A and B are shown apart, each in its own frame.
Chain A
Amino acid sequence: MKLLALDTATEACSVALWVDGALLERFELAGRDHTQRLPAMLHALMADAGLGYSQLDGLVCGLGPGSFAGVRIGVAYLQGLALAHGQPALGVSSLAMLAQGAIRACGAERVLAAIDARMDEVYCAAYGRDDAGLAVPLDEARVCRPERVPAQPGRWQAVGTGWGRYEAELRAATGADLSALDGQALPRAGDALRLAVPAFVSGAAGDAALLAPIYLRNRIALTLLEQAALRAKTPAA
């Protein structure tokens, strides 16, 4: 089975290929330049593997949470790829990718993943590990202020830029006993592939048109009614 994965949800940009059990990956820090880097990285990866896009059996996409624009670049690009040859597709959460990275790197059993969400908030979720060594979610991913992250007693491994930026606040809020902390870890497409392979084997992948970015932060603007209500409440000075 041949699968391609890409992820542009955070400051990292990565692409990876699963070729019958072997994994190839390219990873770069892209800042906000994903549209400048992704096309060449992918092209080079396919050339390295000597593969054409029509030979792929499926496509895997990082869905976020992360930068809104970054997530969309990845999803839209992958949808373009999928349209060309009609492969099925699957999305993977960037928090799950981080947890899978911790499992891969040091055999973590329980992982608290948190990504810096800007605006004084983090995206976060807790993961366990199944018999096959894959990250499984233990709760619903959320966006909140670091001090509002729910309590997570017990022993955990912490991973992600949320921990890098708000270690003290997250330690206090979760009350977790941390066995390790990597505050610089970023999602990698290779980990998305590891998580996605079983789904492709079982035929659980679907239509790329149905890939939905995970934003978590959904209050973007005030409606006219909300604007009027706000004006009525706060009289002009």
Chain B
Amino acid sequence: MRKNCPAQKEPGQTVPKCENSGMSTFSVAPILALETSCDETACAIYDGVRGLLAHSLHSQVKLHAEYGGVVPELASRDHVRRVLPLARAALAEAGLKPTELGGIAYTAGPGLIGALMVGGAAAAGLAEALGLPLIPVHHMEGHLLAPMLEPDPPAFPFVALLVSGGHTLLVDVQGVGRYRLLGESLDDAVGEAFDKTAKLLGLPYPGGPELARLAEGGVPGRFKFPRPMTDRPGLDFSFSGLKTAVLTALPKDADAQTKADLARGFEEAVTETLAIKCARALDETGHRRLVIAGGVGANRRLRARLQELAQRRGLGLYFPRPAFCTDNAAMIAYAGWARRADGRAAHDPLLTRARWPLTELSPPVL
């Protein structure tokens, strides 16, 4: 945030523009963001002065449960039904008219391309009609910056563990857009391993949270699974072998307790592996702050284990609230605000990318 910018505005007045010594001009008015990268449709509004002004979300979990997984075409069909009502709800919650906005952000990738295009097109139409900049946001950067929405945000630099259904990354974060990849999963993402193992145990989709619930009643230590790739140096992960280990240990006629014990053993293996690699990443970088983000960041065991680690070492540990661990637009609105100087003209070709390595990002042009 630029300190010499006029931040306050009177209702009905035009939004003050922030002059930046001739380099670029952008508004300090709120950013509205749309998120449609997978199976959640969401909208949020943020500005750097007042913080998060509104967020709305519709989860498609029930829609896809019938199919046992996300059906991309059905996800896109649902996004186009939800996006306008959710945007209206967010504006109403913030008490804002569209003309009071200062920019429109959207998740440009990575994600399901057809789904990304729905939010992107709606954002582009809104930005074009309002004459506002259009700000493409990297979904994982949104996750990475989500803890900034909390009352006690981390200072840079920090180590971030991004764990979701599609990603498992350890990142050295020096600032917005200054990311160095420390390690990643060579096969299944953590969330994917949770979901696949849940399926083996006969749990309904989406299995990850169900498996965590089942594990609560499991006896720790009855099943001891490997901690993959912790016996060698490096910060990469591999989780696909773990589900095979669970399958091998699963008796044909497993009773409920055995399944709970297996779930517990699996969860212990995953969370300990993640904790070991986080500790290594902190050693390697010398950073004193650890950020956990992404859907798996809502897992209680993982949180407890990393809290232990942080306490033992006297580190700062930062989580977004659970609702901002899973996909949401609040984090996209925050990242959109942080990158508002990177806004493009709404009539430029719309940027959407199914694949988009986090490390391709650079700091915002201020």
Contact = CB atoms under 8 A, between A and B. Distances in A.
B184 interface: no
A77 B125 contact: yes
Interface stretch (B7-15, B84-92, B167-175, B230-238): B84-92
Given A68-B114, A85-B129, A221-B73, A80 B347 contact: no
A135 interface: no
Interface residues on B, range: 35 or more
A85 to B, nearest CB: 6
Contacts of A76: 79-80, 83, 117-119, 121-122, 125
Contacts of A222: 67
Contact of B352 (A35, A212, A215): A35
B349 A36 contact: yes
A81 B104 CA distance: 12
Give chain B's interface secondary structure class: helix
A75 to B, nearest CB: 6
B40 to A, nearest CB: 16
Interface stretch (A37-45, A90-98, A180-188, A229-237): A37-45
B317 interface: no
Contacts of B350: 35-36, 38-39
Contacts of B120: 35
Given A76-B125, A213-B80, A224 B68 contact: yes
Interface in B55-77: 66-68, 71, 73-74, 76-77
Contacts of A82: 84, 125
Interface residues of A, number: 39
Contacts of A42: 128, 347
A77 B74 contact: no
Contacts of B99: 84
B126 A80 contact: yes
A93 B77 CA distance: 17
Nearest to B99: A84
Nearest to B116: A35
Closest 4 A-B residue pairs measured CB to CB?
A: A80-B125, A84-B129, A43-B347, A80-B126
18 contacts: A35-B117, A37-B349, A40-B347, A40-B348, A42-B347, A43-B347, A54-B129, A68-B114, A72-B117, A73-B121, A76-B79, A76-B121, A77-B124, A79-B122, A80-B122, A83-B84, A84-B99, A84-B125
